[in-house]
Amino acid sequence: MKDFNESVEARKDKHLIARLLNYLKPYSGKFVVSFLLMILTTLAGMILPLISGLAIDYMADTSLELSERLKLLNIGIIGIFILIVVTITISYFQQMILQDIGQDVTHLMRTQVFEHIEQLSIGQINQLPVGKLVTRANNDPANISDMFTNTIVNLVKNIMSMLIILVIMFLINWQMALIALVSVPLIVIATLFFRKYSRKAYRKTRDNVSNVNAFLSENLSGMKITQVFNQEEKKRKEFKKINDDLRKSYLKEIIIFGVYRPVIWASAMIASILSVYFGVQAVFAGTLTIGFFFSFYIYVGQLYEPVQQIADQFNNLQSGFASAEKIFDVLDTKPDIVDSPDAIELTEFKGEIEFKDVWFSYVPDEWVLKGVSFKVLPNETVAFVGSTGSGKTTILQLIVRNYDIQKGEILIDGIDIKKIKRSSLRSFVGQMLQDVFLFSGTIKENITLGDESITDSDIKAASEYVGLDYVLNKLPDGLDHVVRERGNNFSSGERQLISFARAVVYQPSLMILDEATANIDSETEAIIQDSLNKMMNISTMLIVAHRLSTIQHSDKILVMSKGEVKEMGSHQELLKQKGIYYNLYKLQYDKQEGEINA
Residues 418 and 447 in one domain: no
Residues 247 and 268 in one domain: yes
Position 156 in a domain: yes
Residue 93, Cα to own-chain centre: how many angstroms?
31
Residue 308: what pLDDT? 65
Which residues, listed in sequence order, are joined to residue 383 by a DSSP beta bridge? 543, 557
Among 302, 331, 360, the domain-final residue is: 331
Task: Note down the domain range covering 447.
Answer: 432-507
Q: How confident is the model at residue 2 (pLDDT cuts 50, 70, 90)?
A: very low
Burial of 585 (0-12, 13-18, 19+ CB in 10 A): middle
What is the spatial distance between Cα 301 and Cα 377, in angstroms, rounded to a whole number? 84
Considering only 137-141, 218-222, 429-433, 530-534, which range has the smallest mean pLDDT?
Answer: 530-534
Taking residues 303-322, report their average pLDDT. 74
Q: Residues of the chain with pLDDT > 70: what percent?
A: 90
3-state secondary structure of 281: helix
Q: How confident is the model at residue 39 (pLDDT cuts 50, 70, 90)?
A: confident
Position 573 in a domain: yes
Q: Residues of the chain with pLDDT > 90: what percent?
A: 16
Residue 489: what pLDDT? 84
Residues 200 and 136 in one domain: yes
Residues 499 and 547 in one domain: no
User: Does residue 250 carry a pLDDT above 80?
Assistant: yes
Position 20 in a domain: yes
Residues 74 and 87 in one domain: yes
Residues 324 and 399 in one domain: no
Residues 88 and 223 in one domain: yes
Residue 569: what pLDDT? 94
Which one, of 584, 473, 585, lies nearest residue 527 by Cα? 473
What is the spatial distance between Cα 296 and Cα 302, in angstroms, rounded to a whole number? 10
If one compares 382 and 121, the residue with the highest pLDDT of the two is 382
Residues 322 and 465 in one domain: no
Which one, of 204, 97, 220, 191, lies nearest residue 153 by Cα? 97
Query: What is the overall mean pLDDT for the chain?
Result: 82
Residue 581: what pLDDT? 92
User: 429-433 and 441-442: which strand pairing?
Assistant: unpaired
Taking residues 383-403, report their average pLDDT. 91
Q: Are the beta carbons of 431 and 400 closer than 8 angstroms?
A: yes
What is the spatial distance between Cα 50 and Cα 172, in angstroms, rounded to a whole number? 10
Burial of 569 (0-12, 13-18, 19+ CB in 10 A): middle
What is the spatial distance between Cα 545 and Cα 561, in angstroms, rounded to a whole number? 14
User: Does residue 409 carry a pLDDT above 90?
Assistant: yes
Position 145 in a domain: yes
Position 297 in a domain: yes
> Which among 292-296, 518-522, 574-578 has the top mean pLDDT?
574-578
Residue 224: what pLDDT? 66
Considering only 116-130, 229-243, 514-528, which range has the smallest mean pLDDT?
Answer: 514-528
Exposure b/e, 147-170, CB count within 10 A at least 16 = b: bbbbbbbbbebbebbbebbeebbe
Taking residues 59-63, report their average pLDDT. 65
Residues 413 and 490 in one domain: no
Q: Are the beta carbons of 529 and 521 closer than 8 angstroms?
A: no
Residue 392: what pLDDT? 92
What is the spatial distance between Cα 61 and Cα 211, in angstroms, rounded to a whole number? 68
Residue 399: what pLDDT? 93
If one compares 487 and 590, the residue with the highest pLDDT of the two is 487
Taking residues 93-113, report their average pLDDT. 86
Exposure b/e, 383-407, CB count within 10 A at least 16 = b: bbbbeeebbbbbbbbbbbbbbebee
Considering only 86-90, 145-149, 495-499, which range has the smallest mean pLDDT?
Answer: 145-149
* CA-based torsion, 497, 499, 504, 505: positive or negative: positive
What is the spatial distance between Cα 68 and Cα 399, in angstroms, rounded to a whole number? 93
Q: How confident is the model at residue 383 (pLDDT cuts 50, 70, 90)?
A: very high
Q: How confident is the model at residue 14 (pLDDT cuts 50, 70, 90)?
A: confident
User: Does residue 416 carry a pLDDT above 50?
Assistant: yes
Residue 521: what pLDDT? 63
DSSP 420: B
Residues 255 and 376 in one domain: no
Taking residues 341-345, report their average pLDDT. 90
Position 89 in a domain: yes
If one counts the domains in the chain, the total is: 3
Residue 590: what pLDDT? 66
Residue 27: what pLDDT? 86
Residue 5: what pLDDT? 43
Long-range contacts of 317-321 (CB under 8 A, 24+ apart): 317/147, 317/151, 317/152, 317/155, 318/195, 318/198, 318/199, 318/201, 318/202, 319/143, 319/147, 319/202, 319/205, 320/143, 320/144, 320/146, 320/147, 320/151, 321/13, 321/16, 321/147, 321/199, 321/202
Residue 524: what pLDDT? 67
CATH number of the domain encompassing residue 469? 3.40.50.300
CATH number of the domain encompassing residue 169? 1.20.1560.10
Q: What is the pTM of this model?
A: 0.68
Q: How confident is the model at residue 8 (pLDDT cuts 50, 70, 90)?
A: very low
User: Does residue 460 carry a pLDDT above 80?
Assistant: yes
User: Does residue 3 carry a pLDDT above 50?
Assistant: no
Position 76 in a domain: yes
User: Does residue 141 carry a pLDDT above 50?
Assistant: yes
3-state secondary structure of 511: strand
Residues 473 and 589 in one domain: no
Position 337 in a domain: no
Residue 414: what pLDDT? 92
CA 375 to each of CA 381, 410, 414, 556, 581: distance values in angstroms, whole numbers, following the listed order: 11, 10, 11, 10, 19
> H or E segment at 500?
helix 492-505
Residues 244 and 382 in one domain: no
